[in-house]
Chain A
Amino acid sequence: DTGVSQDPRHKITKRGQNVTFRCDPISEHNRLYWYRQTLGQGPEFLTYFQNEAQLEKSRLLSDRFSAERPKGSFSTLEIQRTEQGDSAMYLCASSAPPGTVLRDTQYFGPGTRLTVL
């Protein structure tokens, strides 16, 4: 169990550019969440995958945001035409399948800090 990993850890981009982040969950975890966290706030839900299916997407998420989990393992989060308001920490978390011990526990990765200039 190597934990949840995210890449890159930091990303600085110019307004209008596209960025893509990657999340590798704990290997046997079939549930994956993306969150956004700004300074002084709690994580804000963005989207949820169960295996490769995207089952929930926040209405706060504009159409500039898209997430995929093509093989039910790693996931990517893409932000198109970035804006300064997108600057935040993007966190990924994974959980074990239902029926397993601590199935609802969310294990968070270290996050990707995005700065949009």
Chain B
Amino acid sequence: GQQVMQIPQYQHVQEGEDFTTYCNSSTTLSNIQWYKQRPGGHPVFLIQLVKSGEVKKQKRLTFQFGEAKKNSSLHITATQTTDVGTYFCAGRMRYNFNKFYFGSGTKLNVKP
């Protein structure tokens, strides 16, 4: 079964509004990564979180890793049209370092 769940599937926002996508795992993760895939493109690495409760920021993007290392979120403040794309989380389980489980992604559309 699917190891990493991601919600919502789609999000349509007006430019300037905030956006959040959530990722949940049924088992404890070793680390979690976030990727962005533009339409017609390939996934591009954004960030990796490793520590329990970790919070990292990249300009308008804020990434969080839950205390139990089972959930994560990506929050974008004041979206811009350049933020359009699909955001994926990818978790690596504590018991297997050889593979990453990707969420199904959240497709973000930003209306100008």
Query: What residues make up the interface of A, taking CB atoms closer than 8 Å to B?
Result: 33, 35, 40-45, 48, 55-56, 58, 91, 93, 104-111
Assess whether B102 is interfacial by the CB under 8 Å rule: yes
- For residue B45, which residues in chain A have a CB less than 8 angstroms away from its CB? 105-107
User: For A35, A55, A91, which residue has the most chain B Cβ atoms within 10 angstroms?
Assistant: A35
- For residue B105, which residues in chain A have a CB less than 8 angstroms away from its CB? 40-42
Question: How distant is B43 from chain A, measured CB to nearest CB, in Å?
Answer: 5
Majority-rule SS of B interface residues:
strand
Taking a contact as CB atoms closer than 8 A, the residue among B43, B96, B101 that contacts A91 in the complex is: B43
Taking a contact as CB atoms closer than 8 A, the residue among B41, B44, B48, B102 that contacts A104 in the complex is: B48
Residue of A nearest to B48 (CB): A104
CA distance A44 to B35 in the complex (A): 14
Tell me the number of A-to-B contacts counted with CB atoms below 8 Å. Answer: 54
1/0 contact trace for B47-78 toward A, CB 8 Å? 01000000000000000000000000000000
Interface contact A42-B102, CB-CB below 8 Å: yes
Interface contact A108-B48, CB-CB below 8 Å: no
CA distance A45 to B103 in the complex (A): 11
CA distance A42 to B105 in the complex (A): 6
Question: How distant is B45 from chain A, measured CB to nearest CB, in Å?
Answer: 5
Assess whether B82 is interfacial by the CB under 8 Å rule: no
Assess whether B25 is interfacial by the CB under 8 Å rule: no
Residue of B nearest to A89 (CB): B42
- For residue A40, which residues in chain B have a CB less than 8 angstroms away from its CB? 104-105
1/0 contact trace for B1-22 toward A, CB 8 Å? 0000010000000000000000
